[in-house]
Amino acid sequence: MKYISTRGQAPELTFEEAMLTGLARDGGLYLPAEIPVMSFDDIAGLAGLSYEEVAFRVMQPYIGDTFTDAEFRDIIARAYNGFGHAARAPLKQLSEGQFLLELFHGPTLAFKDFAMQLIGQLFEAALSRRGETVTIVGATSGDTGSAAIEAFRGLDAVNVFILFPHGRVSEVQRRQMTTPDDANVHAIALDGDFDDCQARVKDMFNHFAFRDEVRLAGVNSINFARVLAQVVYYFTSAVALGAPHRKVSFTVPTGNFGDIFAGYLAKRMGLPIDRLVVATNQNDILHRCLSGQGYFKGSTIPSVSPSMDIQVSSNFERALYYAYGEDGRAVSQLMDELSSGGFDVSQGAMEALRESFSSGRASEEETLSTIASTLAATGELLCPHSAVGVKVAEEALRASDGAGTKVPMITLATAHPAKFPAAVEEASGVHPPLPSRMSDLYEMPERLSRVDNDLAAIEDHIKRHIAS
């Protein structure tokens, strides 16, 4: 399987090269040259299998001969071994036709562990075979950083630097990044917001001299291997509800569009997904875009669902690539326009997007009241991100009332409520306790560096800390 850039100007790579590279050299994102398709019988055959076996069958066509089947099965087994739930991604019913996919049983209590734990094992296996080391640099609005640090801590071949917006992540998120004491992990509090963190990481990748000197590798959701890991739970949950014999829809709390883009791939692979509903908080550039108002940046407003406080949604570029008929030049031009504020989506591309995606938004008040109402109706305590999803899912279900056979709606619960205790307690009056396996988080000493929002300062910091 070959991997190509959404902007059409970077060399084609193998899966392993695309994974170790992250961002393409033309500024684009890697995608498989062709999306593998699973037959009706292949999908029916997933029923009753373990999460790990489904993961193997869904992902194997994408990795080709990068690893032998035995090696790849072993990598998957190690990736999900540290999860606190035997089902890995258990599905719960909230009401008639409404389900919640719990993706927060990994080591850092957010869905990002699904991709990050796998990528940690993939990197270790590939780098040790190549005898190489890399420097991983990532930007985080909170959850990616802790998931990356947890996945790479203590590995010999990797140094990890995570940029997070100073003062804009929750205390649990910050402590998960600053308390691991392994010498190869480095938390950087940047004086800026998440978009600044993400922009500086992109700058480092576009600064080829630095990129080559430190052997930069990216594990942000632009890394295709991360998107791929997330395709798996669309299959396990849809099959649990009767796919491929029955359609399902998904509502996905969305920031960088990585998680929901994985759902799009699942649909293109043959999973019978009816709607993919993008749920945003008040930072609603995607909802505005999918409502036909173009893709124009605003400024980020901090919210109770900070992992979705994003104005530029990196992986949306991948959806645009397909919506524009796999035309790298068109995508390249849109991204140029975006750097000076935004762009309008062509009518043809808008129609293509609407074939798969719908959207909705939840205000701060709606998010908090959904936490309270869901607790009252079901006993389930939602994190604010998951609550944005449930609110938008309920709206989507109401909109489809009377439209014939009801398609079940699965909302992705992206984090554990204990990751966002202040907002959850404000909404519900209930203080969500951390699972006992991480109850010492508030006692451990923290280690971090505060750095200016300045490319040279960040690069200098990284070079000094790799050396030591």
Ligand X SMILES: *Cc1c(COP(=O)(O)O)cnc(C)c1O
* Residues belonging to the active site: 112
Q: Closer to ligand X by CB, 202 or 385: give it.
A: 385
From 385, 387, 418, 459, residue interacting with ligand X (rule: CB under 6 A): 385
Tokens for 12? 């084609």
Do 187 and 181 contact (CB within 8 A), yes or no? Answer: no
Rule CB under 6 A: say whether 459 interacts with ligand X.
Answer: no
Quick note: the x/- pattern for ligand X over 152-191, rule CB under 6 A, is ----------------------------------------
Q: Which is nearer to ligand X, 110 or 231 (CB)?
A: 110
Task: Tell me the DSSP string of 132-156.
Answer: --EEEEEE-SSHHHHHHHHHHTT-T
Cβ atoms within 10 Å, residue 343: 17
Quote the least distance from Cβ 55 to ligand X, whole Å: 18
- How are beta strands 342-343 and 295-296 bridged, if at all? antiparallel
Burial of 200 (0-12, 13-18, 19+ CB in 10 A): buried
Kindly tell me which residue out of 21, 117, 176, 221 binds ligand X, with binding defined by CB under 6 A.
221
Interface characters, 300-319, with ligand X (x: CB under 6 A): -------xx-----------
Please, what is the minimum distance in Å from the beta carbon of residue 262 to ligand X? 8
- CB of residue 401 to ligand X, shortest distance in Å: 27
Number of shown-chain residues binding ligand X (CB under 6 A) = 16
Residue 246 C-beta: closest distance to ligand X, Å: 26
Whole-number Cα distances in Å, 416 to 1, 44, 142, 173, 332 = 36, 31, 13, 11, 37
Tokens of 90: 């258990």
| Binding status of residue 258 toward ligand X by CB under 6 A | yes
- Tell me the HSE value of 54 on the side-chain side, using a 13 A CA sphere: 26
Only one of the segments 27-35, 72-80, 181-189, 251-259 lies at the binding site for ligand X (rule: CB under 6 A); that segment is 251-259
- Asked if 218 touches ligand X (CB under 6 A), the answer is no
CB of 268 to ligand X, least distance (A): 17
Q: Is 140 in the site for ligand X (CB under 6 A)?
A: no
The one among 102, 259, 317, 394 contacting ligand X by CB under 6 A: 259
Number of H helices, E strands in the chain: 19, 15
Q: What are the residues whose beta carbons fall under 8 Å from the beta carbon of 206, sequence distance 6 or more? A: 27
Using CB under 6 A as the binding rule, whether residue 110 contacts ligand X is answered as yes
